[in-house]
Amino acid sequence: MTAAPSSAAAPAAPITVPVALAERSYHIRIGRGLLAGAGAAIAGLAPGARAAIVTDENLAGLHAPALEASLAAAGIAATRLTIPPGEASKSYARFAALCDGLLAAKIERNDLVIALGGGVVGDLSGFAAAVLRRGVRFVQIPTSLLAQVDSSVGGKTGINSPHGKNLVGAFHQPALVLCDTALLDTLSEREFAAGYAEVVKYGLIDDAGFFDWCEANWRRVRAGGPERDHAVATSCRAKAAIVARDEREDGDRALLNLGHTFAHALERLTGYDSARLVHGEAVAIGLSLAFRFSQALELCPGQDAGRVAAHLAACGLPTRLQDVPGGTGDADAIVEAMTQDKKVRRGALTFILARGIGRSFIAPGIPAETVRDFIARELAGA
């Protein structure tokens, strides 16, 4: 882990994190105020290209005008396509409408799609860019904390099917990721906390020092300043390292799913209704459950499982099944929802478990009955 910054430090210079993927390599640039220079950065990347900005209705009035001004100043002609906010936009219908909108805007093979938004905008527009005219380049300008530390990096794009989340998609790496950490100032407390669960995840996977740092600095990450940039950069470095080792999730990349088998089941059981649960909140419960499950299997000290839940709860995140508004159904319903997840191989469940904070590992072949018993004990409050 890199040295932690002091809150008294002057505004930090932008940080560049390389993602090393041979001919698909790109940079993640992180810093406050980067949006103003987006046009120049994009013009350097694709001289003469036109651009289509894909954004959602919440961001259209907040940050799209600044991006448009920056593109215009750099001589880039841009069209804006706006989608409704929320997970429901990752649908076949919205995907088809977006592809047609990009074609109507005459986005050609050498032009660019720019995703300005959270993970929903990034996943949907990245998938459209992957297939439009058999693939056009795209730039991610993530505006939620979750998108800055997770979804904008690594090239997974896609939409949901009635069969489940993210089941239709493509690997399509961006050409550039610009994380302007000042954009997070307009994010709601709830969405900020949800994205923060993914930040904590990187500490829990393999960087206990970063988890310690999070416990000490989370309030300053929320407030902005150098700690926020440090948290985003450390997360992006961690994700970039894993993606560089295993771009298509044949091995190590599955570690990024820590907490996610539980989380995806909870999202399914709450009908992807963001009024009840957003992705990052489901991840916070999933992380807490993954550590308590590891404790129950006598792999992980109870003290570590307690620290994980205590930190997430301190940040305003849910950590127990009982915290899901409207409930989750019984243990059988939860296991059933888990076995529909795409990380299930031949009926056996694959979990990411932990021997302690920063010591996570891939554990295939966990019997569904063992999981069911654990969940039943959790629901009983044992």
Catalytic machinery residues? 134, 156, 198, 239, 249, 253, 257, 260, 264, 279
**Contact yes or no for 179/29 (Cβ under 8 A):** yes
Q: How far is the CB of 118 from ligand NAD (least distance, A)?
A: 2
Nearer to ligand NAD, 43 or 177 (CB): 177
Q: One symbol per residue from 20 to 59: x for binding ligand NAD (CB under 6 A), - otherwise; what is it?
A: ------------------------------------x-xx
Q: Rule CB under 6 A: is residue 203 a binding residue for ligand NAD?
A: no
Q: Quickly count: other Cβ atoms within 10 Å of residue 84's Cβ.
A: 11
- Chain centre to alpha carbon of residue 2: 22
Task: Please identify the residue of the shown chain whose CB is closest to the bound ligand NAD.
Answer: 119
Cα angle 192-26-78, degrees, rounded to a multiple of 5 = 75
In the complex with ligand NAD, which residue's Cβ is closer, 305 or 352? 352
Number of residues that bind ligand NAD (CB under 6 A): 32
Regarding 247 and contact with ligand NAD (CB under 6 A), the answer is no
Chain positions 259 to 288 lying near ligand NAD, rule: CB under 6 A, are: 279-280
Under rule CB under 6 A, residue 191 binds ligand NAD: yes
Among 68, 87, 227, 229, contact with ligand NAD (rule: CB under 6 A)? 87
* Residue 123 or 206 with smaller CB distance to ligand NAD: 123
The gap between the terminal CA atoms of the chain, to the nearest Å, is: 36
Positions in the binding site for ligand NAD (CB under 6 A): 56, 58-59, 62, 85-87, 90, 117-121, 123, 143-144, 146-147, 150-151, 154, 156, 165-166, 183-184, 186-187, 191, 194, 279-280
